[in-house]
Every structure is written in C-alpha cells, then in structure tokens.
Amino acid sequence: MRSSDGFFYEGEVFYPFQDMLFNALLSFTFMFLVAFMLINPTDTEKKTDPKAEFLITATWPDNHPDDIDLYVQDPLGGTVWYHQKDAGLMHLDRDDRGNYRDTIAMRNEAGGTDRIRSPINQETVTLRGFIPGEYIVNVHQYLATSRDELVPVSVTVEKLNPTVSIIHYATLHMVGKREETVIRFTLDERGEVTGTGTEFKRLVRR
C-alpha cells in the first residue's frame, strides 16, 4: 500500500497491472455508454404527435363489399381523397375499400394457412389544425355491388379540443355509385363553428 507520504515500503504489495486493467475497463465502459446514447434515439424522437383538432369518420356495415370514399375540402380548395391523402392540414388515415384486402393469410403451426379477416368498414380524415373558412365533407359510393341496394353510411364530424364535441352526425343511404354532400361547416379563427349547410358541391374527380 502507498503510505501517506506517497512512497511504498518493504513488505507491502503493489499490483500495477490490476490498476491498469481497472482503469482500462472503466474507460471502455464509459466510451460504450457514450456511443450507445449517440446511436439510440431519445424518447422524444421516437414518439409521434397524435394531436388533431377535428376528426371526420365515415362507416358502413361490417363485411359489406361496397367501397365508400370520403372526400374533404378545406377553405383553400385543397381536397383529401384516396389519390391525395394529404392536403394542407388534412390527412386521410386509410382508404377502406370494402372487402378488398380485408383478409390476410398466415401460416399456422400445423403447416396450413389461417385466414384473418377484418370486418370493419371505416374511413377517417384528421385535421391537425384548421384554417378559417368553409369545409365540405362528401361521401362517394365508388363501388356498388348492387344497383338497388341502399347502403347506410354514417358520417360523424367531431371537434376534439378542448373537449370532444360532435359538430354533425348523419346517416345517408347510398345507392348506384352516388356522391353526396354530408355537411358544409364554417370555422372562425378560434376553430368555432359559425355556420353549417348541406348544399351539394361535387368533389369527385373523374
């Protein structure tokens, strides 16, 4: 051992190799931790921001084969639909095509194939922010498996902040590949609804 005056005396054992090994191990551990922090993203980088101001939802009967499309136009004329899923502050979350691609095949333990089916028919549009002015919400029956069958399509427009409130709810009965204006609503600069209407405006691009 080293005495208080900094010298080693006879009979005392000194292991310089152990000291060097300990210091090397400590340095390696420190460098590993620094490298790990640099390559591993922080929690804030991993998270996505789910914030939305408005949610527009269209649903129709489970397992129904028809393809119903949601169209939403903002005050600047931007329109979200299945070929334009982002426009301004709006986003079409999913293009639901009825029964099409609602079934996936998975291999089971016995070596066979299991088919998993999602019965839900739903399209949603989120508004991550808002622009003052008029918004127009249309539904279009893109694929009608029967010319005479009425398909009930329910559309909900919700304002999410500061609390959830329903701006509009309606059920339309679609038939024969028709397009309908569900609701036209006007927002002020605070995001409050100042007017509504249902006058038809074509949004489908042919």
Task: Give domain status of residue 49, yes or no.
Answer: no
pLDDT of residue 64: 86
Task: Give domain status of residue 151, yes or no.
Answer: yes
Can you list the residues of the chain whose pLDDT is less than 50? Answer: 8, 40-49, 98, 100, 103
Give the dihedral sign, CA 135/57/90/203: negative
**Cα gap 156→168, rounded to integer Å:** 6
Provide the CATH number for the domain around residue 136.
Answer: 2.60.60
Angle among Cα 150, 178, 59 to the nearest 5 degrees reads 60
Task: Give domain status of residue 160, yes or no.
Answer: yes
Structure token digits, residue 74: 């903002």
> What are the tens digits of pLDDT across the range 137-164?
999 998 888 777 899 999 999 999 989 9
> Residue 199 in contact with residue 184, Cβ under 8 Å?
yes
pLDDT of residue 95: 74
> Residue 71 in contact with residue 203, Cβ under 8 Å?
yes
pLDDT of residue 38: 60
Structurally, how many domains does the chain consist of?
A: 1
Task: Give domain status of residue 141, yes or no.
Answer: yes
pLDDT of residue 152: 94
Which is it for strands 79-80 and 113-117: parallel, antiparallel or unpaired?
unpaired
Q: Give percent above pLDDT 90 in the chain.
A: 50
**Cα gap 58→97, rounded to integer Å:** 12
Task: Give domain status of residue 40, yes or no.
Answer: no
List Cα–Cα distances, 44 to 15, 117, 139, 148, 183, in angstroms.
Answer: 47, 35, 37, 52, 38
- Rg over CA atoms, the chain: 31
Domain range enclosing 115: 54-197
Task: Give domain status of residue 23, yes or no.
Answer: no
